[in-house]
Every structure is written in C-alpha cells, then in structure tokens.
Chains A and B, each alone.
Chain A
Amino acid sequence: MQRRLSTWLLLAPAGLWFAVMLVLPLCFVLVFSFGEREAAGGYVPAFTFAQYANLPARGTAFLNTLMLAPLGTLLSLLIAYPLAYFLAMRASPQWRTTLLILVIVPFWTSILIRSYAWIFILGGQGLPALIEWLGLGSYRLINTPFAVLTGIVYGYLPLMVLPVYVSLERLDKRLLEASADLGAPPLRSFLQVTLPLSLPGVATGCMLVFILLMGEFLIPAMLGGGKVFFIGNALVDLFLQSRNWAFGAAVAVTLVVIMLVTVSLYMWLMRRMGGVRDDVALM
C-alpha cells in the first residue's frame, strides 16, 4: 500500500504536466476546429464543419507537404544508407563511435542556424556565383523547391543514418560469411541478406524523418522564400498573421490525422512484411 502511494506521488508531477501541457491543449485544438472565427480574429464557440469544408483553401500547402515530405524522406534514405553501411561494416572499430557522434551532433544543433547557412551558400553570392564563374550558366537556387529539399536532406540526414546504422550493426555477420561460403557474390549477399535485414532500421528512419517533415516550418520559411509553403507555414500564417484560430485548428487537426493515418498504414505494412522493432533511437 505504501509502495503504491509512493509510486503515485512520483508520477504525479509529470502526470499533471502532461495533462495540462499536452492533453488539454490538444483537446482545445480539436474543440476550436469546430468553431468560428471572430470578426477581429480569434475564436467564437460553435459546432460547425465549415472550417474543414474550407480546407482546400490551403490545398497548395497540403500538396507541397505531401509531395516534398516523402521525396525528402527518400532522398535522405538514399544518401544515408551508404554512410550507415560504411559506419557499421567498414569503419574501424576505434573510429566508429567518433564518426557516429560526428553524424549526430549536427542534428542536435540549431536547425535555424544551419538552415541560415544554406541561405548563404545557395544565395546569389554563393553557389550560383561559383557555377557562373565556371561558365556553366546562371541559376537561381534559393527560394526554390530544390533549396527546400537540400535543407530538408541536410537537416534530417542524421536522423536517418542512426536507425539504419543500428540495424546494420546488429546484423549477425556470420550470415554474410555463410552467404559467401555458399558462393554468393558480394552484391547478391547484400541484396539477399544485408538489405532485407536492415529494413527495420530503414522503416524506423523513414518514419521519424517523414513525421518531422510533415510539421516542418523553418526550412521552407527560410529556404523557400514564401514560395514553397508547407502546412507548418500555413499554420504560422493562420495563427499569428490572420488570427483565424478556428480554421488554423482545423488545419492542425487534419495534419495530425494525415500523420496518424500514414504512419499507422506504414507500420501495418512493415509488420506484415517482416516485423519492425520498436527501438526508436532518438539521439
């Protein structure tokens, strides 16, 4: 009895925190999404689906997000996989930890400042000037979908490398020896042994990156120059500029629902294909 009491006392502060700062706010968003906009901006209680019917007004933002988020995820995977493979299979053990930390560190430093660096590099005086100097023609790079994708891949690459690395590192190397002993050339061993066994890591990485990309705001705001809108940008606009809280809440609810549906679908698919471990490495 005393043990149970102490357990509850230990849980109480965090529980209260989650209730007030997470559950309650999310309930508010849901309630607000059925409301109406006050004339001067704000919220009037109501029960209407008008906000949801109005969603196509922000269709471009949804479309951009739903196209660039999967594309960004795929590009990150394509760049991350060989690096993770190198770290897990080829790098010398005494360097491995250091190299791994070097991958993770950028992810945990300010994405704001790292994206700002790309304004610098992709802007007129940076890469475009270099390309022109080389006589390869003149290009505009900043404020394009290309710039946004570059920022995305740059920002989220570490998050993709890590889970793929973990699944490759855990792979039983004897399986590869067995495959070689049975006469399989390296490529075949890779395709039939390594790749399938690394799929759980691939799935985890893709999920993490995709989820974060769905809510992205900073990268499109900084590198898209107001031309490549994401849902996140629409949300900032609706809440802080036009103060249309009810519509903003409906957009937010829709975003979360799309995320939940795609992620559940994805997990279900992965589970059917061969089981996904739940070990989500966040750092």
Chain B
Amino acid sequence: MRLYAFAVYLFLYLPIAVIAIFSFNAGRHASQFTGFSVQWYGKALSNPFVIEALWNSFVVALSSALIASVFGTMAALALQGMKGRVRMVADALIYVAVMVPGIVIGIATLIALVTLFGWINPLLASLAPEGQAPQLAMGYGSLIAAHALFSMSLVIIILRARLAGMDRSLMEASADLYAPPLATFRQVTLPLIFPGILAGFLLSFTFSFDDFIIAFFVAGSETTLPIYVFSSIRRGVTPEINAIGTMVLAVSLLLLIAAQVILRRGPKTGGTDAA
C-alpha cells in the first residue's frame, strides 16, 4: 500500500522533476544532460518576447484576480442565506461557468465580442471626430474579463463554504450592539472571511497565470506566457522552455502553497471546506 502510494507520487512528480533538472542542462540539446549551467535562465530572462509575455501574464492575472475577489466577495455576501429564484439563477450560472469547457467559453467569448465590437466600432467612429475614434478589439480587456469570470466563480464557491460554516450569531451580536452594517462588516465579517478571500485571490491568480486555452481565443494580438510557451514548443523543444517552465511551475507552486496554508490557518468552517 505504502509502496503503491510512493509509485503514484513518483508518477506525479517525475515529469516536473525532469523539466527542472533539464533546465539546468549546459548543452544545446534538450534531451541529453551534458553538465550543470544556469545559462538558459539567463537566455530566457533576456529574451524580450519572454519578458513581454511574462509582463502581460502578470498584469492580466493580477487584474482579473483583483476584480474576481472584490466582485466575487460582494456576490457571495449578498447570496448568503438567500433563497428563492435569485439564488437558483446564481447557482445555475456558477455551475455553468465551472462546468462548460474552457474551450467553449473561449470560443463563445471570441465570437460574441468580435460581433459586438463590429457593431460598436462604427458607432464610436460616427460619434468621435474624424479619425480619432477609439477602436475596441480583443486584447487585455477581453483577456481580463474572461479570466475574471471563471475566477469569480471560484471565489464565490470558496467563500460560500466559508460563510456557510460561519457563526451567524457573531454578526447578530454586533448588530444588537448597535454597530451599523458597515462597521459589522469591517470588524466582524471581513476578518472572518478574509483568509477565504485571500486564498480565492491566489487561486484566481494561479488560474489566470497558467491558463492557455481561454487566452488562446480571446488574447487577440497580446501574448501571455502560456501562449508563448505553446508556440515555442510547436517550433521544437529547447532548454530555454525548460527554464521558463520551471519558473512558471515555481511561481504557481509558491502561490498554491500560500493559498493552502491560508485556507487551513483560518477559522474552522466545518467539514465542507474545500480540501
């Protein structure tokens, strides 16, 4: 039994280890280890395309995670204890956002936005002075908006579990002591759910930072890191990709561990906590 578990962990981590080890390979050839070197990290980090893609990924991940955390938290608070039709619609939407494959979301967003822009752009052109009309196009905006949608669902799911396990009498006590709703929120609710919000933020950031498939459709002319890596792999396997991959994995790993630690440290939420 123990041996079996060990074998599965080996299976899970061997590929990650292979990438990490070969990223320190001195040789040009990706598949033969010829000595230790960090040259590929230097090469990757001095490649302007990599830097640009990394920056884009960072901006998109940060913005979409922020939007998702704020709006998701607001929605989770509003939905708390709510029943009836609104709650049903909200549940259905969150369910659809998580269950419909990313590829379909990507496609749907692509055709909807391109069509909408096709309607709006001539309108903007007719309103603005000659030649100065802003042109809407796929890019940062669509990327952030699409990632924020999925992340918002994540934040709502996490916070709902946390809110459901929370002792409501704390909030009632605060109200009984004549605290205005905003003070109750700032001094009672927020500190209690903050670990959940932070964990949701970190998971959202990780999701956006790692997402390839939605970005592939809605990024327009922008390149994120996963898009860059995918097109480089198409061109052939090089040690530089190993170095980039190792860095990406390291960033995701750190954020995930942080999210897990925060989720576990926070006040107990009962058995339904996301494991």
Determine which residue in B5, B72, B207, B217 has the highest number of CB atoms from chain A within 10 A of its CB, and name it. B5
Query: Does A62 lie at the interface of the complex (its beta carbon under 8 Å from any beta carbon of B)?
Result: no
Q: A116-B19, A218-B212 are in contact. Are A110 and B103 (CB under 8 A)?
A: no
Determine which residue in A15, A21, A102, A216 has the highest number of CB atoms from chain B within 10 A of its CB, and name it. A21
Q: Number of contacting residues on B, CB 8 A?
A: 85
- Tell whether, in the assembled complex, residue A154 and residue B12 are in contact, meaning their CB atoms are under 8 Å apart: yes
Which residues 3-20 in A have Cβ within 8 Å of B in the complex?
Answer: 6-8, 10-11, 13-15, 17-18, 20
- Tell whether, in the assembled complex, residue B149 and residue A113 are in contact, meaning their CB atoms are under 8 Å apart: no
User: In the bound complex, how far is the Cα of B248 from the Cα of A91, in angstroms?
Assistant: 31
Query: Does B9 lie at the interface of the complex (its beta carbon under 8 Å from any beta carbon of A)?
Result: yes
Query: Does B188 lie at the interface of the complex (its beta carbon under 8 Å from any beta carbon of A)?
Result: no
User: In the bound complex, how far is the Cα of B100 from the Cα of A154, in angstroms?
Assistant: 22
Residues of chain A lying within 8 A (CB to CB) of residue B113: 25
Residues of chain B lying within 8 A (CB to CB) of residue A158: 12
- Chain A's nearest CB lies how many Å from the CB of B85? 13
- Chain B's nearest CB lies how many Å from the CB of A251? 9
- Chain B's nearest CB lies how many Å from the CB of A145? 19
Query: Does A146 lie at the interface of the complex (its beta carbon under 8 Å from any beta carbon of B)?
Result: no
Query: Does A212 lie at the interface of the complex (its beta carbon under 8 Å from any beta carbon of B)?
Result: yes
Which of A14, A20, A216 has a CB less than 8 Å from the CB of B71? A14
User: In the bound complex, how far is the Cα of B145 from the Cα of A157, in angstroms?
Assistant: 30
Residues of chain B lying within 8 A (CB to CB) of residue A281: 274-275
- Tell whether, in the assembled complex, residue A28 and residue B111 are in contact, meaning their CB atoms are under 8 Å apart: yes
Query: Does B157 lie at the interface of the complex (its beta carbon under 8 Å from any beta carbon of A)?
Result: yes
Contact with A along B96-120 (1 / 0, CB 8 A): 1111111111011111110100000
User: In the bound complex, how far is the Cα of B256 from the Cα of A116, in angstroms?
Assistant: 21
Q: A112-B210, A112-B229 are in contact. Are A282 and B15 (CB under 8 A)?
A: no
From DSSP, what is the main secondary structure of chain A's interface residues? helix
- Closest A residue to B113 by beta carbon equals A25
- Tell whether, in the assembled complex, residue A222 and residue B16 are in contact, meaning their CB atoms are under 8 Å apart: no
Query: Does B245 lie at the interface of the complex (its beta carbon under 8 Å from any beta carbon of A)?
Result: yes
- Tell whether, in the assembled complex, residue A22 and residue B97 are in contact, meaning their CB atoms are under 8 Å apart: yes
Query: Does A120 lie at the interface of the complex (its beta carbon under 8 Å from any beta carbon of B)?
Result: yes
Contact with B along A227-264 (1 / 0, CB 8 A): 00000100110011000010011001001100100010
Query: Does A52 lie at the interface of the complex (its beta carbon under 8 Å from any beta carbon of B)?
Result: no
Q: A101-B260, A154-B11 are in contact. Are A25 and B108 (CB under 8 A)?
A: yes
Q: A87-B5, A170-B271, A232-B101 are in contact. Are A109 and B152 (CB under 8 A)?
A: no
- Tell whether, in the assembled complex, residue A25 and residue B74 are in contact, meaning their CB atoms are under 8 Å apart: no
User: In the bound complex, how far is the Cα of B158 from the Cα of A79, in angstroms?
Assistant: 28
User: In the bound complex, how far is the Cα of B249 from the Cα of A250, in angstroms?
Assistant: 36
User: In the bound complex, how far is the Cα of B100 from the Cα of A215, in angstroms?
Assistant: 8
Query: Does A126 lie at the interface of the complex (its beta carbon under 8 Å from any beta carbon of B)?
Result: yes
User: In the bound complex, how far is the Cα of B97 from the Cα of A222, in angstroms?
Assistant: 26
- Tell whether, in the assembled complex, residue B154 and residue A282 are in contact, meaning their CB atoms are under 8 Å apart: yes
Which residues 111-162 in B have Cβ within 8 Å of A in the complex?
Answer: 111-113, 115, 145-146, 148-149, 152, 154, 156-158
Contact with B along A157-176 (1 / 0, CB 8 A): 11000100110001000000
- Tell whether, in the assembled complex, residue B226 and residue A110 are in contact, meaning their CB atoms are under 8 Å apart: yes
User: In the bound complex, how far is the Cα of B111 from the Cα of A25, in angstroms?
Assistant: 7
Residues of chain A lying within 8 A (CB to CB) of residue B264: 97
Residues of chain B lying within 8 A (CB to CB) of residue A90: 1-2
Query: Does A26 lie at the interface of the complex (its beta carbon under 8 Å from any beta carbon of B)?
Result: yes
Q: A83-B4, A116-B245, A232-B103 are in contact. Are A111 and B112 (CB under 8 A)?
A: no
User: In the bound complex, how far is the Cα of B260 from the Cα of A130, in angstroms?
Assistant: 38
Residues of chain B lying within 8 A (CB to CB) of residue A86: 1-2, 4-5
- Closest B residue to A10 by beta carbon equals B78
- Tell whether, in the assembled complex, residue B100 and residue A256 are in contact, meaning their CB atoms are under 8 Å apart: yes
Which of B105, B210, B217 has a CB less than 8 Å from the CB of A111? B210
Query: Does A32 lie at the interface of the complex (its beta carbon under 8 Å from any beta carbon of B)?
Result: yes
Contact with A along B206-225 (1 / 0, CB 8 A): 11001011001100000000
- Chain B's nearest CB lies how many Å from the CB of A95? 11
Q: List 12 A-B contacts (CB under 8 A).
A: A11-B90, A14-B74, A18-B93, A102-B12, A106-B16, A110-B245, A112-B210, A113-B229, A119-B233, A211-B101, A218-B230, A245-B111
List of 7 A-B pairs having minimum Cβ-Cβ separation, nearest first: A215-B101, A117-B15, A25-B108, A125-B31, A14-B75, A10-B78, A25-B112
Given contacts A102-B12, A109-B248, A215-B104, 4 further A-B contacts (CB under 8 A): A110-B245, A120-B18, A165-B275, A211-B99
Residues of B within 8 A of A (CB): 1-2, 4-5, 8-9, 11-16, 18-19, 22, 30-32, 70-72, 74-75, 77-79, 82, 86, 90, 93, 96-105, 107-113, 115, 145-146, 148-149, 152, 154, 156-158, 181, 203, 206-207, 210, 212-213, 216-217, 226, 229-230, 233, 237, 241, 245, 248-249, 252-253, 256-257, 260, 264, 271-272, 274-275
